[in-house]
Amino acid sequence: MTLKTKIIAEDGKQDLLITREFDLPLDLLFRAYVEPDLVAQWMGTNVLKLDNRNHGSWQFETTDAQGNVVFRANGVIHEFVPNRKITRTFEIETTSFPVQLEFLEFESLSDHTSKLTMQIVFKSVAHRDQMLQLPFAQGLNMAHNRLQNLVSPLN
Amino acid sequence: MNLRRDVFQAIADPTRRAILLLVASQAMTAGAIASNFGTARPTVSKHLQILTECDLLAQEPNGREILYRLNPGKLKELADFIEPFRKLWDERFNTLETIMKNYKARE
């Protein structure tokens, strides 16, 4: 089975490449990145601002059930070419992680399939590796927490 | 995480990656491995030492010789390392795909 989403992270480089082939025509894929309510649905976050144009900007925010902000990110949209590309920055306000530069390229593969290529450039190799490790570390934490939940009743 | 970083440093070198490929099919002596490379024997020994230290290679005594073989468990650990990150994006994109298919159906 070939994987639909691929990650290419070469050793010693400060960028990574994410590619994904979608079972969607190009215009629908692109629309998922443009319309705020659609972005909100698939990203699972509130879209405070999404000004899709050259020199535009965006801001997303996620709150927990009590209304506390758990995640807020923003960036500027450097270049916006409908159905072709979005070049933007991405910065998480709620952490001190440095801003990233993202190149998103959209292409049509057939009438009902399309492909997204996303290149993310980080401030340094170490920052890229840290970002790659994050879900792994979180996974470990979750496993650890589960283990603790299993163990604590025994104490 | 120090050990883990060492593993990544180990596979960052092209000669060491070539060594891993070489011993993937069969366990080999240091001499047999070295004969595949144009570099000096001590250089290959150094590479073997690094790969062994971070458990990518295992040593196997065979009579008076020592054979080097791949430690697949460690390699799998390396592959698994990036997998949570890939899964995260894969799930996110799967959601996008589902939402847009429904969106299209609604139109």
- Of A9, A26, A46, the closest CA to residue A127 belongs to A9
Residue A38 near residue A146, CB atoms below 8 Å: no
How many domains, chain B? 1
CA distance A118 to chain B (A): 11
Interacting residues of B74 by C-beta distance below 8 A, sequence separation 6+: B7, B54, B55, B56
Would you give the DSSP letter of residue A154?
G
B interface residues, A as partner, C-beta within 8 Å: 1, 8, 11-12, 81-82, 84-90, 92-97, 99-101, 103-104
Which percentage of chain B shows pLDDT scores above 90? 39
Establish if A131 belongs to a structural domain. yes
Establish if A3 belongs to a structural domain. no
Residue B55 near residue B14, CB atoms below 8 Å: no
Would you give the DSSP letter of residue A97?
P
State how far Cα B85 lies from the chain centre: 17
Q: Is A98 helix (H, G, I), strand (E, B) or coil?
A: coil
A96 and A72 belong to one structural domain: yes
Establish if A6 belongs to a structural domain. no
Establish if A2 belongs to a structural domain. no
Establish if A1 belongs to a structural domain. no
pLDDT category at B9 given cuts 50, 70, 90 is: confident
What is the ipTM score, two decimals? 0.82
Please say if the pLDDT value at position B24 is more than 60: yes
Burial category of B73 from C-beta neighbours within 10 Å (exposed 0-12, middle 13-18, buried 19 and up): exposed
Average pLDDT, chain B: 84
- Of B90, B72, B89, the closest CA to residue B23 belongs to B72
Say which CATH number the domain at B29 has. Answer: 1.10.10.10
> What is the C-alpha end-to-end distance of chain A, expressed in Å?
45
CA distance B15 to chain A (A): 14
How many domains, chain A? 2
A107 and A130 belong to one structural domain: no
Among A22, A37, A116, A131, most B C-beta atoms within 10 A, so best to mutate, is: A22
Please say if the pLDDT value at position A1 is more than 60: no
A65 and A104 belong to one structural domain: yes
Say which CATH number the domain at A30 has. Answer: 3.30.530.20
Establish if A8 belongs to a structural domain. no
Please say if the pLDDT value at position B14 is more than 80: no
- Do the chains contact at A138 and B84, CB–CB below 8 Å? yes
A34 and A88 belong to one structural domain: yes
Domain span holding position A44? 15-123
A108 and A92 belong to one structural domain: yes
A88 and A140 belong to one structural domain: no
A53 and A111 belong to one structural domain: yes
A89 and A145 belong to one structural domain: no
pTM for the complete prediction?
A: 0.67
Alpha-carbon gap, residue A75 to A88, rounded angstroms: 7
Reported as a single tens digit per residue, the pLDDT across A24-37 is 999 999 999 999 99
Which percentage of chain A shows pLDDT scores above 90? 61
Alpha-carbon gap, residue B88 to B84, rounded angstroms: 6
B86 interaction partners in chain A (CB closer than 8 Å): 3, 5-7
Ramachandran assignment for A126, one of left (phi > 0), alpha (psi -120 to 50 degrees), beta (any other):
alpha
Run of H or E including A124 = none
Q: What is the CA radius of gyration of chain A?
A: 18
A100 and A130 belong to one structural domain: no
- Of B25, B5, B36, the closest CA to residue B68 belongs to B25
Domain span holding position B65? 2-106
Reported as a single tens digit per residue, the pLDDT across A100-149 is 999 999 999 999 999 999 999 999 988 888 888 776 655 555 554 554 45
Reported as a single tens digit per residue, the pLDDT across B65-90 is 999 998 877 777 766 778 888 888 99
